[in-house]
Chains A and B, each alone.
Chain A
Amino acid sequence: MIAIIDYGVGNLFSLKSSFAAIDIDAVITHDEKIIKNADHIILPGVGAFKEAISKLYDSGMDEVLKREIAAGKPVMGICLGMQLLVDKSFEHGEFEGLKLIDGTCVSIQSGDAKNLKIPHMGWNALDFDYSCPIFKYINQKDAVYFVHSYHVRDCNNVVATTEYGNKLTAAIAKDNLFGCQFHPEKSGQVGLNILRAFSEV
């Protein structure tokens, strides 16, 4: 069973539906017992970093999450849920993240990419590391759906990138911890294949 953590952020309906579409039991929950009993955990998230990290702390889910990660349970952060895993974010200020993977979240418009349209919204191709188990059912350059204005930089655990002006971080992974900047639940069959592979980690 997959626990999709509900801490008051984002639309979880599609995530739950996509697991249902691949015959995997998933529950939307903030119940510590259910999360503890789950085989895998999804940390979702949309919106702004500051609000999301505050809600995560307020709900106490940060502690639950850290305990489960330490116990070796596979966890996947999606979109903002991935960004919360790194050291800090510069979205509308400077805020500390969960510091579970090194990295900093910065605007994709930085440097010589000032004229890029934001958000980076639409389908873009993945260049990924074959050794990462969540990509075992997809092909290089398969397109997935992105919607974001910030991305993770200065991270030694990047496992997938995409081209948008510069090379953007599309996924990160460290041991049992995974993060996708794109939305697998909105990426058609390719996305479902990534969720299925994650559920088998």
Chain B
Amino acid sequence: MITKRIIPCLDVRNGRVVKGTNFEGLRDVDDPVELAEFYSNSGADELVFYDITASSEGRKIFTDVLTNTAKHVFIPLTVGGGINTTADFERVLACGADKVSVNSGAIKNPQLVNDAAKIYGNQCVVLSVDVKRVDGVFRVFAKGGRENTGMDAIEWIKKCVDSGAGEVVVNSIDTDGVKKGFDLEMLNAVCEAVNVPIIASGGAGCIEDFITLFKTLPKVDAGLAASIFHFGTVEISDLKSEMKKNNIPVRLL
């Protein structure tokens, strides 16, 4: 039976890991390569690296970080941030990324999902969506969650999966940073709409939040979080033992 994945997310700027709350107020945490190795040894099933640098110089530092990580860490690596063209896919895949996550790049140019899936395969293209309720409707937000695109999130996700996205990261802006649990209602709506792996993001504050997620929504494949892992609020080994106790399929080291 396929196991539920636990995925720490590392936001990287200028070669360092940072994490914001509700996408604002970034705060330095650790060296990304060291942190990645630590997570891999603790039982993380996959890692996500988000490049949040804007300059081309920062891009170079980011790919160096990625290369160093891929030399030492032998679990899947997903890379996102600043992916606007298939050349960006090429750039990060050459440094050891296995999957590439598109967000704003796909909103600006929806053809990107299709083009990338044709070249690299659906399994390589991860759609990442920042979603927020506006007047009771799930809307897609762009620019790190600051701008309402007006697009219906469920329709957008369906469209991208039809175009070749092989996996979807659903990040709820409503629950992100609040640490009161994943956005089960939003995730359920996405699970009902598409038949590709779904990664839940935004809102995990404790081990129980992951247990509730996987127990309530068996169709969710993975749980992603950042600060609770970075600050040691949740240890991955404890989380996984607890999942095992709750009969949730899990990979133990």
Contacts of B251 in A (CB 8 A): 123, 143
Are the CB atoms of A119 and B122 closer together than 8 Å?
yes
- Select the stretch in B92-100, B101-109, B137-145 that faces chain A: B92-100
A117 to B196, Cβ gap below 8 A?
yes
CA–CA, A189 and B5, complex, Å? 17
Residue of A nearest to B76 (CB): A186
Contact A17 B121 (CB under 8 A): no
Contacts of B94 in A (CB 8 A): 11, 13
Residues of chain B within 8 A (CB-CB) of A146 are: 2
Task: Give the total of A residues in contact with B, Cβ under 8 Å.
Answer: 35
**Complex CA–CA separation, A149 to B117 (angstroms):** 14
Contacts of B122 in A (CB 8 A): 119, 149
**Is A155 engaged at the interface, CB distance under 8 Å to the other chain?**
no
**Would B75 and A186 count as touching, CB distance under 8 A?**
yes
Cβ B96 vs Cβ A14 within 8 A: yes
CA distance A118 to B167 in the complex (A): 9
Known contacts A11-B93, A48-B121, A115-B195; decide if A121 and B166 are in contact (CB<8 Å).
Answer: yes
Check A124–B93 contact: CB distance below 8 A: no
Asked if B70 lies at the interface with its beta carbon under 8 angstroms from chain A, I say: yes
Give the contacts of B36-84 with A (CB-CB under 8 A): 40, 45, 67, 70-72, 74-76
A163 near B: Cβ within 8 Å?
yes
With A118-B196, A122-B45 known to touch, is A14 a contact of B74 (CB < 8 Å)? yes
| Cα distance, A116 to B114, chains bound together (Å) | 22
**Do the beta carbons of A13 and B96 come within 8 Å of each other?**
yes
| Residue B197 is within 8 A (CB to CB) of chain A in the complex | yes
A185 part of interface (Cβ distance < 8 Å): yes
Q: Which 10 A-B pairs have the closest CB atoms?
A: A143-B251, A123-B251, A13-B96, A119-B123, A147-B123, A17-B71, A123-B3, A124-B2, A47-B121, A122-B2
- List residues of chain B with CB under 8 Å of any chain A CB: 1-3, 5, 40, 45, 67, 70-72, 74-76, 93-98, 120-124, 166-167, 195-197, 221-222, 251, 253
Q: Please list the residues of chain A having a beta carbon within 8 angstroms of any beta carbon in chain B.
A: 11, 13-14, 17-18, 20-21, 46-48, 115, 117-125, 143, 145-149, 163-164, 185-189, 191-192
